[in-house]
Amino acid sequence: MRIEIINTGSELLLGTTLNTHGAWMGMELFKLGLRVQRQITVPDGEAINSAMAESMERSDVVIVTGGLGPTSDDITREAAAEVLGVELITDEAALRSIEAFFADRNREMAEDNKKQALNPVGGDILPNPNGTAPGIYTPPRMSGDRLCALFLLPGPPSEMRPMFENEVEPRLRSLAGTNEDHHIQVLRFTGVGESDFHAKLDQELVSIPNLEVGYCARTREVDLRLIGAKASIEQAGQLAINTFPDMCFSQNGESLEEIVVQLLQKQGKTISIAESCTGGLIANRITNVAGASQVFTHGFVSYSNLAKQQLLNVNNATLERHGAVSEATAIEMAEGALANAEADIAISVTGIAGPSGGSEEKPVGTVWIGIATAGSSAAVKKFAPYGRDIFKQAASQDALNLARRSLEQAMA
């Protein structure tokens, strides 16, 4: 099935907004065993017409994002009607949904928003619970000398992504037919780099029949994507886990924070978090998981030395002797977080994010991760000499992984 994606939006071409639609959709389609053959970005306005017409002549499915807003340069609906050679008519149900969206929020609906209920004849409205622009789907119809289906989706990722999952994917599945022996598994690893996979695993993986292998490297994480026959996936997955023992934290695509919350729930334990350089990122990641409130009650962002003393009972002498970024401080932070939250496990992070604050002995990127449980406490040193954002992400990943390892050992 040949799929093309068209993203409209001048901001994507001006560089003020990074186009994440292509990568996100590529990943989602890949899970269905589908590939994107071409992705095209055009500015707001008339450029969409020719791009859509060209793509439809080449493709079985064309997915367009953006240009469904209420303003004069939002003309994706009009362009689709022109390319399809049909009229636009108001969909009464869609109009009522848009009116309800404004009424629910006690906002007045502008006259311009009415055009968002326009639908090319023969199109299906795709509901948008997260915004005013409904999507549109037109089933396969002749375009040039081939049948092509068309999806029009809103531009904001917060509206597009749920609509893609709920409305587009089921339709693509049925358009593509089912492939019984098409499975996918994503194993996620931390503590090992993509180059380690290439060096130690690639050759063996390639020799497994009916298998396609892909990697995705993130900060302190490699996702191994296995696609193909069930037995092949199982063989490959086992091989990867045996090659990198303890480094595979998830066999079903869960994030590290989801795994930590699941382990805590299973063991009926609570976690406490003491953060200096990560500044709340770890607590934020944990609380992104629905149900976090069962396992997480207290988070401490102790950005200053005084806060480390006041919130976490870190000794002034420890700070003076070893400094805030040290093994001793990391351990005392974790112990303080454990005691003050009456938690079962506590993790702590203290490091130098930069750009300033580094020294020869403790360069920017140095970070100590502490862990404490009722019986014991410890700290490990890590190094992440990257920009502020990646530094924080790397440190949060290392801390969550320390918690995971400790919780898994407690079960073993």
Candidates 202, 204, 234, 408; binder of a copy of itself (CB under 8 A) is: 202
Q: Rule CB under 8 A: say whether 10 interacts with a copy of itself.
A: yes
Q: Rule CB under 8 A: say whether 39 interacts with a copy of itself.
A: yes
Q: Name 42's Cβ contacts closer than 8 Å, sequence gap at least 6.
A: 6, 7, 8, 13, 48, 51
Q: Rule CB under 8 A: say whether 17 interacts with a copy of itself.
A: yes
Q: Rule CB under 8 A: say whether 412 interacts with a copy of itself.
A: no
Distance separating alpha carbons of residues 294 and 267, to the nearest angstrom: 12
Q: Rule CB under 8 A: say whether 71 interacts with a copy of itself.
A: yes
Nearer to a copy of itself by Cβ, of 120 and 314: the residue is 314
Site residues (CB under 8 A) for a copy of itself, limited to 218-247? 218-219, 223, 225
β-bridge partners, 125? 136
Query: What are the angstrom distances between the C-alpha of 15 and each of 11, 12, 204?
Result: 6, 5, 41
Q: What are phi and psi of 322, to 5 degrees?
A: -105, -15
Q: Using the rule CB under 8 A, give the single segment among 118-126, 197-205, 241-249, 367-375 that binds a copy of itself.
A: 197-205
Nearer to a copy of itself by Cβ, of 275 and 398: the residue is 275
Q: Rule CB under 8 A: say whether 99 interacts with a copy of itself.
A: no
CB of 119 to a copy of itself, least distance (A): 20
Q: Rule CB under 8 A: say whether 186 interacts with a copy of itself.
A: yes
Distance separating alpha carbons of residues 117 and 127, to the nearest angstrom: 11
Helix, strand, or coil (residue 224): strand
Site residues (CB under 8 A) for a copy of itself, limited to 147-176? 156, 158, 162
Helix, strand, or coil (residue 3): strand
Candidates 199, 242, 266, 316; binder of a copy of itself (CB under 8 A) is: 199
Candidates 163, 281, 331, 364; binder of a copy of itself (CB under 8 A) is: 281
CB of 23 to a copy of itself, least distance (A): 4
Nearer to a copy of itself by Cβ, of 70 and 127: the residue is 70
Nearer to a copy of itself by Cβ, of 118 and 120: the residue is 118
CB of 409 to a copy of itself, least distance (A): 26
Structure tokens at 95: 């109009």
The interaxial angle of helices 47-58 and 76-84, nearest 10 deg, is 50
Amino acid in the structure at residue 151: F
Q: How many CA atoms lie within 13 A of 301 on its CB side?
A: 8
Q: Using the rule CB under 8 A, give the single segment among 25-33, 244-252, 314-322, 402-410 that binds a copy of itself.
A: 25-33
Q: Rule CB under 8 A: say whether 284 interacts with a copy of itself.
A: yes
CB of 412 to a copy of itself, least distance (A): 29
Q: Name 282's Cβ contacts closer than 8 Å, sequence gap at least 6.
A: 273, 275, 299, 347, 349, 396, 399, 400
β-bridge partners, 118? 90
| Helix (H) or strand (E) run with residue 37 in it | strand 36-42
Candidates 107, 145, 207, 409; binder of a copy of itself (CB under 8 A) is: 107
Q: Name 137's Cβ contacts closer than 8 Å, sequence gap at least 6.
A: 123, 124, 126, 149, 150, 151, 152, 167, 168, 171
Site residues (CB under 8 A) for a copy of itself, limited to 293-312? 293, 296-304, 306-307, 310-311
Distance separating alpha carbons of residues 50 and 56, to the nearest angstrom: 10
CB of 375 to a copy of itself, least distance (A): 24
Q: Rule CB under 8 A: say whether 347 interacts with a copy of itself.
A: no
Q: Rule CB under 8 A: say whether 14 interacts with a copy of itself.
A: yes
Q: Using the rule CB under 8 A, give the single segment among 120-128, 135-143, 196-204, 236-244 that binds a copy of itself.
A: 196-204
Candidates 139, 388, 408, 410; binder of a copy of itself (CB under 8 A) is: 388
Evaluated on CA atoms 254, 257, 258, 263, the torsion sign reads positive
Site residues (CB under 8 A) for a copy of itself, limited to 391-410? 392
CB of 280 to a copy of itself, least distance (A): 3
Nearer to a copy of itself by Cβ, of 11 and 124: the residue is 11
Q: Name 223's Cβ contacts closer than 8 Å, sequence gap at least 6.
A: 186, 187, 188, 189, 215, 216, 217, 253
